[in-house]
């Protein structure tokens, strides 16, 4: 078995096209759609498979994103550039749930799945409150948080939450102050759905922070939250 490197080879057709498309990305803005695959294939005089392969490269590099039935979305923006140059936002690790600028994507009453039930300390299948919020900075999706609450008495109030700071809302409407009890931090690649919601390339690294929160004075878990944050944009900090 020969482990030596392969000699350099001439670029294949799909690589040529990928390079060309990458150049031309500068003619687009974030949010623009590329011409349809068939159009591009015709223009380059190749089969659609070959064109798709070229686009695959751009997807891998994180420049564009596919949307079935819609088209190919251009992600690259001047905004992203400095980020990889270590110009990440810095965020206090303990601030989860108190972002002043998050919007609600989902709020439902639903049976607790296994992991959620475990975290909240309730029986699997019991109804719990599930909110999902998205935090944007300058219009860029940054952080997706799932909040799970065990006390469905909060539902009438929580269901009306639409945007702002969730923890401020709890304090203002229900006079409830939540205190962080446990934090778990991990990282992994974004899965397909997550990368769509956060508008990032598939497989991009995400920071995952899971927290257990109590009410002041109480010992049972009132909230379990799971946040997914673009790792290229955020760094968590903590002063001791």
Which residues make up the interface to DNA (CB under 7 A)? 1-2, 4, 6-7, 9, 12-15, 34, 36-38, 45-50, 52-53, 66-72
* Residues forming a β-bridge with 104: 133
How far apart (Å, rounded) are the C-alpha atoms in residues 148 and 212?
10
Q: Is 197 in the site for a copy of itself (CB under 8 A)?
A: yes
Binding-residue pattern over the window 114 to 143 for a copy of itself, x denoting contact by CB under 8 A: ------------------------------
47 interacts with, out of DNA, a copy of itself, none, CB within 5 to 8 A per kind: DNA
Q: Which of 108, 152, 187, 218 binds a copy of itself (CB under 8 A)?
A: 187
CB 128 within 8 A of CB 116: yes
Q: Is 181 in the site for a copy of itself (CB under 8 A)?
A: yes
**Given the complex with DNA, which of 37 and 80 has the nearer CB atom?**
37
Q: Is 22 in the site for a copy of itself (CB under 8 A)?
A: no
Which of 38, 56, 54, 32 has its CA nearest to residue 201?
56
Helices (H), 45-180: 48-60, 81-84, 114-120, 155-158, 166-174
Q: Is 191 in the site for a copy of itself (CB under 8 A)?
A: no
How far apart (Å, rounded) are the C-alpha atoms in residues 14 and 102?
41
Which of 55, 90, 105 has its CA nearest to residue 75?
55
178 interacts with, out of a copy of itself, DNA, none, CB within 5 to 8 A per kind: none
238 interacts with, out of a copy of itself, DNA, none, CB within 5 to 8 A per kind: a copy of itself
How far apart (Å, rounded) are the C-alpha atoms in residues 216 and 171?
12
Burial class (CB in 10 A: 0-12, 13-18, 19+), 210: middle
Q: Which of 29, 77, 177, 189 binds a copy of itself (CB under 8 A)?
A: 189
* Residues forming a β-bridge with 223: 149, 213
The values of phi and psi at residue 7, to 5°, are -65, 155
169 interacts with, out of a copy of itself, DNA, none, CB within 5 to 8 A per kind: none
Smallest distance from the beta carbon of 153 to a copy of itself, in angstroms?
25
Positions touching a copy of itself (CB under 8 A) are: 1-3, 5-6, 31, 60, 68, 70, 88, 90, 93, 179-189, 193, 196-197, 199, 203, 205-207, 231-232, 234-240
């Amino acid at each position: 078995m020969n482990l030596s490197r392969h000699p350099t080879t001439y670029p294949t057709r799909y690589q040529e096209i990928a390079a060309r498309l990458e150049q031309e990305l500068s003619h687009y803005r974030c949010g623009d759609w590329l011409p349809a695959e068939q159009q591009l294939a015709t223009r380059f005089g190749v089969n659609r498979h070959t064109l798709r392969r070229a686009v695959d490269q751009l997807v891998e590099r994180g420049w564009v994103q596919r949307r079935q039935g819609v088209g190919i979305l251009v992600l690259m923006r001047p905004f992203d550039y400095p980020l990889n140059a270590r110009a990440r936002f810095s965020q206090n690790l303990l601030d989860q749930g108190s972002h002043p600028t998050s919007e609600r994507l989902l709020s439902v009453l639903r049976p607790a799945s296994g992991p959620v039930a475990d975290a909240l300390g309730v029986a699997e299948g019991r109804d719990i409150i599930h909110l999902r919020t998205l935090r944007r900075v300058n219009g860029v999706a940054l952080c997706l948080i799932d909040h799970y609450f065990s006390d469905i008495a909060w539902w009438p109030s929580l269901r009306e939450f639409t945007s702002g700071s969730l923890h401020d809302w709890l304090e203002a409407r229900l006079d409830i102050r939540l205190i962080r009890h446990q934090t778990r931090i991990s990282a992994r690649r974004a899965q397909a759905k997550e990368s769509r919601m956060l508008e990032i390339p598939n497989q991009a690294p995400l920071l995952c922070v899971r927290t257990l929160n109590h009410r002041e004075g109480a010992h049972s878990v009132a909230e379990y939250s799971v946040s997914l944050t673009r790792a290229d944009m955020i760094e968590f900090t903590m002063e001791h």
